[in-house]
Structure 1
Amino acid sequence: MAKRKVKSEQESLLEQVQCIAQGLGEMFAPFTEVVVHDLRSPEHSILAIHNNLSGRSVGDPTTELGLARIADDDYPQLLSNYPNRFSDGRTAKSTSIGIKDSTGRYVAALCLNVDVTLFQGIQGILTQFCQAEGAPVKETLDPANANAIRDRIDKFAMNLATTPRLLKLEQRRALMQELKEEGYLEVRRAMEIVAQHLGVSRATAYNDAR
């Protein structure tokens, strides 16, 4: 009877992990491969694979991490953001989560593998695009103290666990009061800077400051 109960618990865990894997796969498609391993059957451990980036299939064997967990219940349950590589040489970033039953034995593993090659390419393009290699010119497109105003707005929003453009009406009014009291609104073009950073019209910014 006890054996049947443990089996039922393990099957329930596997079903829930597969549901979580499907959700993660849909959320992070197409750049993240999400794999569910049944560690009770290491030779055919893969139960599900979403956004297949590694070329593996359902029924394929577990990895070295899976075997390590099977051999040692004390093996780390969470290994996050470690460097990895797909079989074709592409660079990957991986996270592996071991799933234990109530007896402390590893039953399954949920693994996420991100193909970072594309992101590295995008990063290189952006770096090249943002480079300014021309001769230095004494010109600024930003009025004096504009950054100070933006930084003050960012700090206000951060304290509310939000962003400047997501501030609600009452929050914007409280912000404007603080900016006024601290002298930020005396800066040239202050209302224009504030309106742009909040993503509202200047008329709205003036109304909020009343």
Structure 2
Amino acid sequence: MKKKSNKQVLEMLRNMAEGLGQTFAPFCEVVVHDLSNPKNAIYAIENSLSGREVGQSVTELGLARIQDPEFPAVIANYANTFPDGRKVKSTSIGVKDDSGEYVAALCLNVDLTLFQSFQAAISQFTKIDEKEVHEHIEAGGNHSDRIHARIDDFAAARATTSRSLKPADRKQLVQELKKAGLLEVRRGAEIAAAHMGVSRATVYSDAK
């Protein structure tokens, strides 16, 4: 009876692994371990980034759970590596039977390689040489920054973006910009219109 119960648990975890694997493909490997069968523990695997296959043996973490029912049920976001050296962020979730013993585990292994490449590329792209040069590309200088900041703060307070404001909200914002004198500065209406993705005519109409 216990064996049948374990089978049901494993099948449920297999379905979960399939769903998670499809959702987070191709960055995340999802593995179901049958801890009642350590030598052939891998019951199911989605997106096999590690190169492992169904029927392979349990990991050190799985052995620790088998040996100690008090082992933590959830270990999240711990550092790991694939056999070829790629860095991985792993999460392991243990599942117990009615007697309190670990019988299965669901493990997620996220390949960090691509994300680290993105991070490095973004860091390189946004790197600025610390030279004593001061220039504002857009006419209006600090006025442009002030107008952008005022619009962005207004939009953020409404959980939206500057280009997704509802007409009524945009009109209220334009009225506030006008009251603050930001539409009277050089190219103020043009700067505001460009940041909100509307025409200058729309800004002038909202300002009335």
- TM class, shorter-length: 0.7 to 0.9
Task: Give 1:136 deviation, angstroms.
Answer: 3.4
From 2, 7, 19, give the equivalent of 2:4.
7
User: 2:26 aligns to what?
Assistant: 30
In structure 1, which of residues 58, 68, 86 is the aligned counterpart of residue 82 of structure 2? 86
Secondary structure in structure 2 of the residue aligned to 1:80 = strand
1:76 matched to 2:68: no
Query: Larger deviation: 71-80 or 127-136?
Result: 127-136
SS of residue in 2 equivalent to 1:140: coil
Larger deviation, residues 166-175 vs 82-91: 166-175
Q: Deviation per CA, 1:16-63, whole angstroms, max 9, x where unpaired?
A: 322222222222222221212222222212122222111111111121
From 40, 43, 47, give the equivalent of 1:47: 43
Equivalent position to 1:140, from 120, 136, 160? 136
The total of aligned residue pairs comes to 206
Q: TM-score, normalised by structure 1?
A: 0.76
CA RMSD of aligned residues (A): 3.2
Q: Structure 1 pair 133/59, CA: closer, same or farther in 2 (3 Å)?
A: same
For residues 185 and 199 of structure 2, the distance between their equivalents in structure 1, rounded to whole angstroms, comes to 18
Structure 1 position 58 matched with structure 2 position 54: yes
SS of match in other structure, 2:52: coil
Between structure 1 and structure 2, the one with the greater Rg is 2
Secondary structure of 1:108's aligned partner: strand
Instruction: After superposing the two structures, state which structure 1 stretch, 55-64 or 131-140, moved more.
Output: 131-140
Q: 2:125 aligns with which of 98, 120, 129?
A: 129
Q: Distance in 2 between matches of 1:87 and 1:135?
A: 44
Greater shift after overlay, 185-194 or 89-98?
185-194
In structure 1, distance between residues paired with 2:136 and 2:127: 17
Structure 2 segments unaligned to the other structure (5+ residues): none
Seen in structure 2, the aligned counterparts of structure 1 residues 144 and 78 have a Cα distance that, compared at 3 Å, is same
Post-superposition Cα deviations, 1:151-175, rounded to whole Å, max 9, x if no partner, equal 4444444444444444444554555
Task: State the percentage of identical aligned residues.
Answer: 54
Aligned to 1:19: 15
User: TM-score when scaled to structure 2?
Assistant: 0.76
